[in-house]
Structure 1
Amino acid sequence: MKSEKVKVNNGWKETSLGEVAVFNYGKGLPTENRKAGGVPVYGSSGITGFHSEALIDEPGYIIGRKGTVGSIHYSNKPFYPIDTVYYLTKQDIKCDFRFFYYLLQTLGLDKLNFDSAVPGLNRETAYSLRITIPATESEQKAIAAVLSSFDDKIELLRRQNKTLESIAQTIFKEWFVNFTVKGEKLKVNPKTGLPEGWRQKGLDEIADFLNGLAMQKYPPENEVDVLPVIKIRELKSGITGQTDKASKKIAPEYIVDNGDVLFSWSGSLDVVLWCYGKGALNQHLFKVTSKKYPKWFYYFWILEHLPFFRSIAQTKATTMGHIQRHHLSESLAAIPDSDFMTFADSKISPVFEHIISNNSQIQTLSKLRDTLLPKLMKGEIRVKDF
């Protein structure tokens, strides 16, 4: 691979990736050999499970070698990298540890795949990449501090959202599943098993479940009028450099926006509040909406039935696990009378709106960080006093 000529800024130096870092091979750990524990096991797609013992007893970076080539992950605690990844710890890096993380983001490692049979990142190819970095560790630290300030705020908002969702879900379960309000059981009709004035409906009666399109049938016509394709992978990872693109010329109902409820009914079953901007809804995903019931109501009812849906999917031994629409009909939701719904909505909707607002802030911060990242790492923007 021929390296491009790189521009060297004043106070920076040109070198190669191999001169500042050592990529270590992970170690195989088949699923059947893993023992119950809290140590995260990392593959190229991220955490693939847990084990009782760590291979690496300190924080480190994990880089996809096979499979999801060039993916970059960070473990802030002891971890076990398997044989589809490389890993690096502080002793393997000859520059500031945090700075190196951001440097990795700019190298395009996901594009260094030269194995046509099985996607693979060759270590020597990665080592040969020419890079420029600040000559002093103090400037490296200053750059990392700027970028880390964004990531720290994003992480704070994400933790806050987890807490808010946990609070809202606890309230939901108490009121709509356990029929308990302020520690007191609601009076239940012995014939229906529901509080007086309540009724039951299938999930497909309280919300519309729109299945996505086969987006490969809507390829981009140019590089401008495109949307990222939201597949099952994007529910967890968001929009990445490996996300497919589709034409914007699709029916508006198949365009996803922040705050939409997405439910993967096939493969890895999950339900999420989308927070990564506009995208095109791919097949195997439902966009869930309702003209009658608030978003939190159908979101938490899907979440309540998710263990049941996953158990169904696990029985599909010969095909990719999935559920069918009749399973939505068979999964019931307790519908309160209008007064109780109004009361519940006044308590839970503000929490949900706070979550969506936080997600919007995360998007804004992420875009600003991603705009600054290449400029700071190339020295096009210098940190004050350097």
Structure 2
Amino acid sequence: MTWTDATLEDLVLLQRGFDITKAEQRDGQIPVISSSGVQSYHNVAKVKGPGVIVGRKGSVGTVYYCETDYWPHDTTLWSKDLKGNDAKFVAYFLRTLNLDRFDTGNSNPTLNRNHIHGQPIKKPDLPTQQRIASILSAYDDLIENNRRRITLLEQAARLLYREWFVHLRFPGHETAKIVDGLPEGWTHCSFAQMAQYLNGFAFKPRHLGENGLPIVKIPELKAGILEKTPRYEGSEVPDKYLLNDGDLIFSWSGTLAVDFWNSGAAYLNQHLFKVTPSVGFSAAFLLVAIRECMPVFMGKAVGATMKHIRRSALDEVMHLLPQGHILADFNHRASELYDQVQLLRAQNQKLTRARDLLLPRLMDGRIPV
């Protein structure tokens, strides 16, 4: 195993990407990779894969690896020349450099390739690069496999919901009596009747610090706890605002979204509801139901600068509900599916932590391979 002194340009030569608008894109299988990742697909590739893409504008310093041919967007830098190095290793290596610290933009974050090409690094020989990439890829392959399984489980819950509650092909629908246009025993119920909705705590700047429990806002609902997530350590926040794994959260302001929390004990910020199911309803049912009715909630959103729904929307949006045993059956089936989802998410958190602990140690030679 040989490590030599070098500069970043000895590892990879980065080039600015190519502009393309959504209107110019045509249906195809070629990923268009922006600084935020794969946002769309096109029928023409600009670059042969495999390759490495770095966020240049907006999400500065993000790093993506692409196995196939691709179109690097103008908001990125792409690996024009890998200098004989392993593409996967280069991607992992770049993630250790915290490239966002080279931001040269004012109002709009920007990464200038000329400011990073000369950075001094230590570079291992190609066989070492390939062994390191293989070790880290094993973690990423497991994570991606779990993500695919999660997608399939959530899709199964969604399809079951649509079959029973939208198309009304529930167990026994063939013999169900229709009364006033509905299966007998089915009624309309508002979302306000199906759960209690606790708005999060209105944290003030004095509450925000680096110690204590994380404060969950919309970014954390999407991505879990982040480096920039503020924390609170104190006694001013009532216990009712505490979150634990398995709690259901509904973002009602800005980005409307709903999901289970699964990143450990935390505090709930305002603009998010903690959803507690009423008797007879499961959190899994409410998750699927809210997601499927989200277009209706969005239609009731108000506000000029930041769209949000009023609490009254929970009384106004109605849902068709069956007799008790049918709802209980769906609760059971959906809960089983989402129990598996939660287990897979927990596995991915452990795999991610293990990979992220290994990454810098492999990249500086502390762990020989």
Q: TM-score, normalised by structure 2?
A: 0.87
Task: Answer yes or no: is the 8 Å Cα contact 1:44–1:64 preserved in 2.
Answer: yes
Pairing 1:261–2:251 present? no
8 Å CA contact 1:255, 1:278 repeated in 2: yes
Give 2:259's aligned residue.
272
Aligned partner (choices 47, 63, 79) of residue 54 of structure 2: 63
In 1, are the aligned partners of 2:211 and 2:232 still within 8 Å (CA)? no
Of the candidates 261, 278, 286, which is equivalent to residue 298 of structure 1? Answer: 286
Q: CA deviation at 1:83?
A: 1.8
1:142 maps to which residue? 131
Give 1:103 deviation, angstroms: 0.7
Q: Note if contact 2:193-2:278 (Cα within 8 Å) is conserved in structure 1.
A: no
CA gap of 1:371–1:182, structure 2 versus 1, over 3 A, is: same
Deviation at 1:32, TM superposition (A): 4.0
2:93 alignment partner AA: L
Alignment equivalent of 2:229, drawn from 232, 238, 244:
244
Contact in 2 for aligned 1:186/1:195 (Cα 8 Å): no
> What are the residue-to-residue correspondences of 1:1-386 with 2, within 5 Å?
11-88=2-79, 91-134=81-124, 136-182=125-171, 184-185=173-174, 187-191=176-180, 193-215=181-203, 217-221=205-209, 223-227=210-214, 229-241=215-227, 243-249=228-234, 250-292=237-279, 293-312=281-300, 318-383=304-369
Deviation track 1:12-48 (CA, whole Å, cap 9, x = no partner) reads 2221112111111012223444445454333222234
Per-residue deviation at 1:214? 4.9
**CA–CA separation in structure 2 for the residues paired with 1:14 and 1:342:** 65
Which one-letter code corresponds to 2:257 in the other structure? D
Tell me the distance in 2 between the aligned counterparts of 1:245 and 1:321: 24
What whole-Å deviation, never above 9, does each CA across 1:349-380 have from its counterpart, x for those lacking one?
A: 22211111111111111111111111111211
The whole-number CA distance in structure 2 between the counterparts of 1:88 and 1:311 is 43
Distance 1:115 1:286, change over 3 A: same
Q: 2:35 touches 2:75 (CA, 8 Å); kept in 1?
A: yes
Task: Give how far 1:217 is off.
Answer: 2.8
2-structure distance, mates of 1:164, 1:39: 27
Partner residue of 1:5? Answer: none
Deviates more, 1:77-86 or 1:156-165: 77-86
User: Could you say what secondary structure the match of 1:23 adopts?
Assistant: strand
Residue type of the alignment partner of 1:112: F
How many angstroms does 1:124 deviate by? 1.9
**Offset of 1:216 from its aligned partner?**
5.4
> Any conservation in 1 of the 2:7–2:119 contact (CA below 8 Å)?
yes
User: What is the aligned length?
Assistant: 366
Whether the 8 Å CA contact 1:215–1:246 is kept in 2: the answer is: no
Amino acid across the alignment from 1:111: R
- TM-score, structure 1 length as denominator? 0.84
Code of the aligned partner of 1:372: L
The SS at the match of 1:88 is: strand
Do the aligned partners of residues 338 and 202 (structure 1) sit closer, same or farther apart at CA in structure 2, a change above 3 Å counting? same
Segments of 5+ residues of structure 1 without an aligned counterpart are: 1-9
Task: Give me the CA root mean square deviation.
Answer: 2.7
| SS at 1:127 equivalent | coil
Give the deviation of 1:326 after TM superposition. Answer: 2.7
Asked if structure 2 preserves the Cα contact closer than 8 Å seen for 1:260 and 1:273, the reply is yes
Measure the CA separation in 1 of the matches of 2:107 and 2:323: 59
Q: 1:206 offset after TM fit, Å? A: 0.9
How far the C-alpha of 1:143 sits from its partner, in A, is 1.4
Q: Deviations over 1:280-300 (max 9, x none)?
A: 434433332324221111001
